[in-house]
């Protein structure tokens, strides 16, 4: 496998550069040519293949809607004016300084993203806490991985989505995918599951569920919001049917008795009455997992995006531990990270309660270490701030931020309860958005700053395996465009703050020092080692001079878990109803998700003609009987109504869907945004919103 960063032509001029796809956390290998043309590259996660999004990733580099100059308006009712960078940065710096002087440092908020490089995530967190002095920073990863992260930390002592390489799945005999539709969201991952019997837990008959049935596996179709009950019923079956791995539990875990006291009440037949999955299927899947030596349980957003998402993921972890999967060769438990840098993005300080290296901002030792790297007093660092949804809800209120800087997020489409989000953004004194195209949130801003795309910048990403990767620049940004690091550095200078380099290598070297000794230790990783082709998974601590460099940690938990006693924790969890249940006025459960050709808020993929041609508008999947009761037929426009708002969608009648459930993709904006409907109810631990369940009704629309 070639990992050469650059391949030259006969003239010695670089013709293509080795980098990685800008989309999901597989971070598939790509070649990018001098005109932005994309080709697949051999890499362990994608092995020479790409999905439609990856193949068309270059289309946005020279898109006619590309932002290439800062935009500024003095009032929201005014039109944008094109301005120079000096004026834009000076304007933002002056407004931020004035607001901080009048209302204090927490009057300014920062919102990041799981798609930002490690360097950007790190510098953004440092900028918020040092240059601004604000505690009000969070990011959109709060919407898509925080519940699994909290559950993983609680059970294993550390959060890494997959504690093993993706290629370990190649030999799997049985794989349970709880709330994952990887055939559409991560198509190359299916190549690693081709030899396995699949079990897919999903209210919909997705393409992944179809593959499960074709593989001789099962599609388990629970009522939305009852996945935890299903996992409890399966744990009960593991005990009563004699599949418990008692030796593993005794040697490597604690807490089983407490977990069993709850699961003992959820015999499969009782669980079936609540979740709708046949008890016989629960027993069958447990037997498949227990009777094979190469087996995995993987969770994703379907299990997480609930007001009890941490407990739901915990229930699946309990099942995996009861059967002896985590840390065993050829077996394991993992969570499929969604965003491109969903793993690294939550490790280095843009989350409200964390410092670099996956350290807690409330830990005095962590504060002292990071403050030493930053050259400030530990007491000067603010404490934990609001989580993403709570931060948005506080915008413009008397005790909330009056300004917000947004990097890499399109909140008007991606955040729950979209009408309330629009109201809060409009209440700000200043909204600044750094983006590559005029997305919905950018067009609601006071200042828009045009930034470089993935093929135009250097940096590192951390994929779903905890593998740190090099993002390499293949071409220069358009004239007038700056990198996010240059923007952050420029804003820091306007505020009179030093120590904010714009060079990604310098930022990464500082990140290495700040992460040293933390759970996500990158101190032994360097650009030189990555450019030499080393596959380095964190933790990878630095070694003393003269010692052999640390090889990285592709597989965790082989000998011990990350808790002090080396044991994994089973945690007692019980079912709690969704925060909002159907009633006569709103009789259906709506759930949201993704489609093959679009990504996240769709701000980029909806601008790629090939992708937009395949999925140009929102749709709602409805059982034919449910549609008929609402007076709707296939192809009609429906108005979907919740307690928070209304969204328009084209009806698709799907006989395999549960009659009590409807599905909408969340990639579309304006009046077709699914998140106009969703419930901002939060998990009490992770503070993740309940995207996967809300009560709705259907109405005819012209």
* 374-410 per-position pLDDT tens digit: 999 999 999 999 999 999 999 999 999 999 999 999 9
**548 is a domain residue:** no
Mean pLDDT value across residues 567-588: 97
Q: How confident is the model at residue 9 (pLDDT cuts 50, 70, 90)?
A: very low
Asked if 129 contacts 123 with a C-beta cutoff of 8 angstroms, the reply is no
Q: Are residues 303 and 170 in the same domain?
A: yes
Question: How is the beta sheet containing 295-299 ordered, strand by strand?
Answer: 218-220, 197-201, 174-178, 295-299, 332-335
Instruction: Please write the tens of the pLDDT for every residue from 255-286.
Output: 999 999 999 999 999 999 999 999 999 999 99
| Helix, coil or strand: residue 297 | strand
DSSP labels, 446-501: SEEEEB--GGG--EEEE-TTSEEEEE---SPPPTT-B-HHHHHHHHHHHTT-----
Cα–Cα distance, 415 to 440 (Å, whole number): 12
Domain boundary at 477, 504, 537, which?
Answer: 537
Cα–Cα distance, 153 to 166 (Å, whole number): 21
Q: What integer pLDDT is reported at residue 6 of this predicted model?
A: 53
The b/e string for 609-631 (b: 16+ C-beta within 10 A; e otherwise) is eebeeebeebbbbbbbebbeebe
What is the average pLDDT value for the chain, to the nearest integer?
96
Name the β-bridge partners of 109.
404
Cα–Cα distance, 76 to 422 (Å, whole number): 13
pTM for this prediction: 0.95
Q: Are residues 107 and 181 in the same domain?
A: no
- Domain with residue 596: its CATH number is 2.40.40.20
Q: What integer pLDDT is reported at residue 2 of this predicted model?
A: 32
Radius of gyration from C-alpha coordinates of the chain: 24
- Domain with residue 254: its CATH number is 3.40.228.10
**637 is a domain residue:** yes
Q: Are residues 120 and 186 in the same domain?
A: no
Domain boundary at 310, 335, 360, which?
Answer: 335
- Look at residues 657, 473, 436, 637 and name the one whose alpha carbon lies nearest to residue 18: 473
**181 is a domain residue:** yes
**248 is a domain residue:** yes
Q: What integer pLDDT is reported at residue 1 of this predicted model?
A: 27
Q: How many domains are contained in the chain?
A: 4
Instruction: Please write the tens of the pLDDT for every residue from 145-183.
Output: 899 999 999 999 999 999 999 999 999 999 999 999 999
pLDDT at 523 over 90: yes
Which token pair is 8?
A: 């030259």
Mean pLDDT value across residues 544-557: 95
- Look at residues 302, 240, 247 and name the one whose alpha carbon lies nearest to residue 270: 240
- Look at residues 596, 595, 615 and name the one whose alpha carbon lies nearest to residue 606: 615
pLDDT at 478 over 50: yes
Close Cβ partners of 75 (under 8 Å, ≥ 6 residues apart): none
Q: Are residues 381 and 327 in the same domain?
A: no
Cα–Cα distance, 104 to 127 (Å, whole number): 16
Instruction: Please write the tens of the pLDDT for every residue from 633-673.
Output: 999 999 999 999 999 999 999 999 999 999 999 999 999 99
Asked if 424 contacts 393 with a C-beta cutoff of 8 angstroms, the reply is yes
Lowest mean pLDDT among 76-80, 285-289, 454-458, 464-468: 76-80
Q: Which residue has the higher pLDDT, 572 or 3?
A: 572
Cα–Cα distance, 547 to 545 (Å, whole number): 6
In Å, how far are 140, 158, 175, 262 from 216, measured between CA atoms? 37, 34, 12, 32
Alpha helix (H) residue ranges in 14-133: 52-55, 85-103, 118-126
Mean pLDDT value across residues 547-555: 96
488 Ramachandran zone, left/alpha/beta (phi>0; psi -120 to 50) = alpha
Mean pLDDT value across residues 490-494: 98
Cα–Cα distance, 422 to 416 (Å, whole number): 11
Cα–Cα distance, 62 to 448 (Å, whole number): 19
- Domain with residue 436: its CATH number is 3.40.50.740
What is the 3-class SS of 516-563, one letter each residue? CCCCCCCCCCCHHHHHCCCCEECCCCCCCCCCCCCCCCCCCCCCCCCC
Asked if 69 contacts 451 with a C-beta cutoff of 8 angstroms, the reply is no
pLDDT at 680 over 70: yes
Q: Are residues 15 and 124 in the same domain?
A: no
Beta strands 354-355; 359-360: pairing state: antiparallel
Q: Are residues 50 and 134 in the same domain?
A: no
In Å, how far are 262, 304, 586, 697 from 582, measured between CA atoms? 26, 20, 5, 9
Instruction: Please write the tens of the pLDDT for every residue from 26-72.
Output: 999 999 999 999 999 999 999 999 999 999 999 999 999 999 999 99
Q: What integer pLDDT is reported at residue 338 of this predicted model?
A: 85
Which token pair is 698?
A: 């259907």
| Helix, coil or strand: residue 234 | helix
CA 525, chain centre distance (Å):
23
Q: Are residues 619 and 492 in the same domain?
A: no
Cα–Cα distance, 21 to 187 (Å, whole number): 13
In Å, how far are 138, 627, 675 from 688, measured between CA atoms? 12, 31, 14
- Look at residues 643, 699, 649 and name the one whose alpha carbon lies nearest to residue 671: 649
The domain in which residue 667 lies consists of: 588-700
**196 is a domain residue:** yes
Q: How confident is the model at residue 18 (pLDDT cuts 50, 70, 90)?
A: very high
Task: Say what percent of the chain tops pLDDT 90.
Answer: 96
Q: How many CA atoms lie within 13 A of 506 on its CB side?
A: 8
pLDDT at 7 over 80: no
**609 is a domain residue:** yes
pLDDT at 473 over 70: yes
- Domain with residue 25: its CATH number is 2.20.25.90
Domain boundary at 335, 359, 392, which?
Answer: 335
Q: Are residues 12 and 56 in the same domain?
A: yes
In Å, how far are 184, 204, 207, 689 from 663, measured between CA atoms? 15, 8, 14, 17
Cα–Cα distance, 274 to 590 (Å, whole number): 17
Close Cβ partners of 588 (under 8 Å, ≥ 6 residues apart): 582, 626, 660, 661, 662, 695, 696, 697, 698
Q: What integer pLDDT is reported at residue 5 of this predicted model?
A: 56
Q: What integer pLDDT is reported at residue 481 of this predicted model?
A: 97
Cα–Cα distance, 207 to 596 (Å, whole number): 10
Q: How confident is the model at residue 14 (pLDDT cuts 50, 70, 90)?
A: low
pLDDT at 12 over 70: no
Question: How is the beta sheet containing 536-537 ordered, strand by strand?
Answer: 459-462, 467-471, 536-537
Q: Are residues 389 and 282 in the same domain?
A: no
Phi, psi of 699 (to 5 degrees): -135, 150
**556 is a domain residue:** no
Q: How confident is the model at residue 4 (pLDDT cuts 50, 70, 90)?
A: very low
Q: Are residues 350 and 483 in the same domain?
A: yes
Instruction: Please write the tens of the pLDDT for every residue from 74-93.
Output: 888 899 999 999 999 999 99
pLDDT at 117 over 60: yes
Q: Are residues 200 and 329 in the same domain?
A: yes
Q: What integer pLDDT is reported at residue 15 of this predicted model?
A: 84
Asked if 407 contacts 120 with a C-beta cutoff of 8 angstroms, the reply is yes
**628 is a domain residue:** yes
Close Cβ partners of 4 (under 8 Å, ≥ 6 residues apart): 18
Q: Are residues 132 and 168 in the same domain?
A: no
Mean pLDDT value across residues 683-700: 97
The b/e string for 65-88 (b: 16+ C-beta within 10 A; e otherwise) is ebbebbbbeeeeeeebeebebeeb
Q: How many CA atoms lie within 13 A of 291 on its CB side?
A: 8
pLDDT at 510 over 80: yes
Neighbours of 443 (CB within 10 A): 13
Say how many Å lie between the first and final Cα of the chain, rounded: 56
Mean pLDDT value across residues 214-238: 97
Task: Say what percent of the chain tops pLDDT 70.
Answer: 98
């Amino acid at each position: 496998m070639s990992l050469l960063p650059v391949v030259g032509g006969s003239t010695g001029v670089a013709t293509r550069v080795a980098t990685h796809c800008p989309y999901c956390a597989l971070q598939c290998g790509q070649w990018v040519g001098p005109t932005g043309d994309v080709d697949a590259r051999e890499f362990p996660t994608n092995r020479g293949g790409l999905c439609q999004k990856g193949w068309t990733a270059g289309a946005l580099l020279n898109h006619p809607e590309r932002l290439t100059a800062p935009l500024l308006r003095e009032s929201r009712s005014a039109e944008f004016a094109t301005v120079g960078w000096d004026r834009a940065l000076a304007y933002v710096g002056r407004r931020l300084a004035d607001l901080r002087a009048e209302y204090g440092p927490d009057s300014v908020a920062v919102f990041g993203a799981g798609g930002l490089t490690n360097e950007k995530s790190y510098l953004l967190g440092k900028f918020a806490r040092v240059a601004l002095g604000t505690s009000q920073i969070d990011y959109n990863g709060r919407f898509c991985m925080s519940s699994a992260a909290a559950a993983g930390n609680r059970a294993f002592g550390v959060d890494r989505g997959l504690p093993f390489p993706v290629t370990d799945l190649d030999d799997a005999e049985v794989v349970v995918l709880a709330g994952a539709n990887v055939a559409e969201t991560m198509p190359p991952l299916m190549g690693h599951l081709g030899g396995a019997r699949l079990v897919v837990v999903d209210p919909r008959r997705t393409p992944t569920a179809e593959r499960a049935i074709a593989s001789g596996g099962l599609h388990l179709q629970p009522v939305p919001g009852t996945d935890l009950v299903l996992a409890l019923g399966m744990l009960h079956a593991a005990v009563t049917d004699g599949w418990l791995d008692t030796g593993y539990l005794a040697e490597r875990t604690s807490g089983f008795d407490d977990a069993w006291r709850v699961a003992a009440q959820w015999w499969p037949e009782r669980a079936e009455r609540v979740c709708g999955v046949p008890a016989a299927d629960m027993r069958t899947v447990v037997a498949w997992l227990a009777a094979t030596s190469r087996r995995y349980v993987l969770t994703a957003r379907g299990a997480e995006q609930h007001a009890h998402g941490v407990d739901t993921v915990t229930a699946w972890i309990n099942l995996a531990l009861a059967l002896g999967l985590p840390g065993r060769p050829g077996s394991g438990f993992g969570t499929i990270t969604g965003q491109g840098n969903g793993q690294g993005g939550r490790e280095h300080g843009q989350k409200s309660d964390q410092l670099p290296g996956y350290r807690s901002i409330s830990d005095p030792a962590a504060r002292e270490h990071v403050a030493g790297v930053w050259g400030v007093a530990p007491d000067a660092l603010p404490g934990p701030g609001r989580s993403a949804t709570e931060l948005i809800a506080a915008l413009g209120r008397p005790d909330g931020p009056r300004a917000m800087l947004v990097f890499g997020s399109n909140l008007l489409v991606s955040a729950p309860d979209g009408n309330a989000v629009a109201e809060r953004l409009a209440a700000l004194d200043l909204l600044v958005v750094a983006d590559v195209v005029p997305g919905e949130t950018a067009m609601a801003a006071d200042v828009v700053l045009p930034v470089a795309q993935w093929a135009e910048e250097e940096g590192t990403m951390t994929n779903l395996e905890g593998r740190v990767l090099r993002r390499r620049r293949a071409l220069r940004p358009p004239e007038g465009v700056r990198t996010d690091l240059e923007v952050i550095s420029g804003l820091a200078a306007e505020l009179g703050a030093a120590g904010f380099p714009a060079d990604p290598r310098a930022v990464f070297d500082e990140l290495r020092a700040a992460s040293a000794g933390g759970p996500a230790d990158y101190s032994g990783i360097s650009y030189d080692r990555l450019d030499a082709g080393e596959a380095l998974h964190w933790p990878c601590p630095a070694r003393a001079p003269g010692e052999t460099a640390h090889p990285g940690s592709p597989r965790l938990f082989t000998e011990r878990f990350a808790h002090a006693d080396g044991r994994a924790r089973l945690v007692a969890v019980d079912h709690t109803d969704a925060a909002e249940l159907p009633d006569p006025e709103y009789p259906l459960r709506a759930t949201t998700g993704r489609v093959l050709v679009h990504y996240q808020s769709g701000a980029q993929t909806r601008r790629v003609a090939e992708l937009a041609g395949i999925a140009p508008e929102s749709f709602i999947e409805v059982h034919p009987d449910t549609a008929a009761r609402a007076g709707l037929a296939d192809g009609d426009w429906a108005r979907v109504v919740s307690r928070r708002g209304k969204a328009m969608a084209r009806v698709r009648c799907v006989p395999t869907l549960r009659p009590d459930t409807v599905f909408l993709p969340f990639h579309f904006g304006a009046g077709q945004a699914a998140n106009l409907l969703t419930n901002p109810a939060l998990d009490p631990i992770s503070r993740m919103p309940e995207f996967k369940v809300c009560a709705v009704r259907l109405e005819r629309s012209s």
